[in-house]
Amino acid sequence: MFTFLGYTSRMAAVHREVAKKYEADEAFELPALTDLVLGADDARATSDGLLPLAEGTAARQRLTATYFDTEDLRLASAGLTLRRRTGGDDAGWHLEVPAGADARSEVRLPAGRGARTVPDTLRKLVRVHSGGAELRPVAEIVTERTVRRLVDPTGQVLAEVADDRVTARRLLPLDGSGDAAGAATSWREIEVGLVGGDPHLLEGVDARLRADGLTAADATSKLAHLLGTGAVGTDKRRPRPKKATKLTAKTPAGEVVLAHLRQQVAQVRSQDLPVRLDAPDAVHKMRVATRRLRSALTTFKPLFTAEVVRPLRGELKWLAGELGAARDAEVMRDRVSQAVGTDDGNAEHGPAATIADQELGQAYRKAHDRVLAELDGERYHQLVAALDGLVATPPLTERAAAPAGKVLPRLVARSFAGVRALVEDADARPAGPEREELLHDARKAAKASRYAAESVDPVFGQDATTFAQAMEAVQEALGEHQDSVLTRERLRDLARHTSSTEAAFLYGRLHALEEARAEQTQQHFDDAWTAARRTSVHRWLR
């Protein structure tokens, strides 16, 4: 399964792989693949019995790979693997990116002629983790592989099992030119990868192999096995993670907020590659982390030196805006698609729905390509570096040293006062653009107040949680209203500019449905706001 990158490289294939890896000694005998799947019923069952499966002819391959990283192994520290491999069915440059349990995304490029020069496309993809440092060979790994494939009667490959004998050497830097190879180490591992089969097939094979005595491999890759846990480098630009300490009301307020900031900076970094690879929800996750950072630096600004954090807030606003354009296009595409699917009259839409999907899909791709262009720019990388500096050497004020229990509730209370003022102002206005703008501002203020409470939850526990949930309900109710307003505006714009009469009619029908939905949002907001003003919700704010 693969897609193609957008702006970053229109020729780089992105494959998603699901596999399980096991440690094995030389004495282990791998059973026939048909025996391995006996427990995976849905991989074999059909309406009239068992589906006959077969094992294809085993293939032997010799794979030679050179792995690249910074001198202090920053990519390995981030769980990334970058290599140039010859031999096998997929020779070339590979960048492996974790994509959940037993899954990874792999960006592939042709091998080219430069055996020791990382392609520019891949250097851009990993720059937020490498910091622009030189990517050099750090290991050489040779694998003698036997590949066995499980196929169905049509010839489709359901799964393949790779039995690998591995010989690896770490490359050590010399004072002069060239690299010195460390001592060779060897091991055997078995990897079971899903190709065209059902995920339950992998579960059945896993159960059988474990019953036969195999254990899951500790290392996620051959490079990680070679380096070992203790050998993985630490990015020297960022502090080593400290052992978590319990945060209490007596903890300095600055430390509580910094713990939250560190989590959000890590989230921005962790979503960089998923955004580039257009992984589901990645843009949303990076955008939320960016907003949480800006919100915390605003709500808790008395704890930080103004001249340092003020420019950061501006740059975070810029990044959130760029991500927001792509996210809004994604939401609009999905919202219209859902509305078409639930509309009672959708049977008549047919071709119009297809045209709408194409137009909205194109708008999303254009917005996403713009995000990719910005992520390749110096402004973004300077922002990431500044965020690293913020959490490494925080510019705290004297007030940050005061106990959290004394300082933080007052700042959260101040954020709620801003929400209340905006809501009261909106209630005093007649329906129209001014009221809509105030409600939009109230939504943003409610979100900031919610984020503030969530960031101090480790100290104030259930009190902060209850308040955050109340603010989230207000935010979501106002969000429903705002989304309806924006959707109607976008539908009117789409209807004016579409080249299809049928699509224009569809947009008009969806506009009417959104008007009906908007009438329901006011009651949702009234209920949420009444609950948010209860004394029990605010008792911890003083």
The answer to whether residues 30 and 130 belong to one domain is yes
> Does residue 241 lie within any of the structural domains?
no
> Does residue 237 lie within any of the structural domains?
no
The beta strand positions in 25-132, using DSSP E, are: 45-46, 49-50, 54-55, 59-69, 81-86, 92-98, 103-109
Per-residue pLDDT of the chain (542 residues; tens, 9 = 90+): 444 455 444 456 788 888 899 999 999 998 888 887 765 444 444 434 455 788 888 899 999 999 999 999 999 999 999 999 999 888 999 999 888 777 888 899 998 888 889 999 999 999 999 999 999 999 999 999 999 998 888 888 888 999 999 999 999 776 555 667 788 999 999 999 888 877 888 888 888 888 888 898 888 889 999 988 434 444 444 445 555 678 999 999 999 999 999 999 999 999 999 999 888 889 999 999 999 999 999 999 999 999 999 999 999 999 999 998 888 888 777 767 766 655 544 444 556 667 767 777 888 889 899 999 999 999 999 999 999 999 999 999 999 999 999 999 999 999 999 999 999 999 899 988 888 889 889 999 999 999 999 999 999 999 999 999 999 999 988 887 776 666 777 777 777 777 777 777 777 777 777 666 666 777 888 899 999 999 999 899 87
> Does residue 91 lie within any of the structural domains?
yes
The answer to whether residues 114 and 170 belong to one domain is yes
> Does residue 491 lie within any of the structural domains?
yes
> Does residue 119 lie within any of the structural domains?
yes
The beta strand positions in 288-414, using DSSP E, are: none
The answer to whether residues 453 and 489 belong to one domain is yes
Q: Name which of 300, 285, 279, 234 is nearest 72 in CA terms.
A: 234
The answer to whether residues 419 and 319 belong to one domain is no
Residue 62 β-bridge partners: 144
The answer to whether residues 34 and 182 belong to one domain is yes
The domain that contains 304 carries what CATH number?
A: 1.40.20.10
The answer to whether residues 396 and 407 belong to one domain is no
The answer to whether residues 42 and 178 belong to one domain is yes
The answer to whether residues 303 and 447 belong to one domain is no
> Does residue 426 lie within any of the structural domains?
yes
The answer to whether residues 112 and 220 belong to one domain is yes
Q: How many domains does the chain have?
A: 3
Give the other-Cβ count within 10 Å of 192's Cβ: 24
Give dist(CA 436, CA 438) in Å, integer: 5
The answer to whether residues 393 and 408 belong to one domain is no
The answer to whether residues 143 and 162 belong to one domain is yes
The domain that contains 133 carries what CATH number?
A: 2.40.320.10
> Does residue 239 lie within any of the structural domains?
no
The answer to whether residues 328 and 417 belong to one domain is no
Q: 537: domain range?
A: 403-542
Q: Where is the domain boundary, 342, 368, 402?
A: 402
> Does residue 262 lie within any of the structural domains?
yes
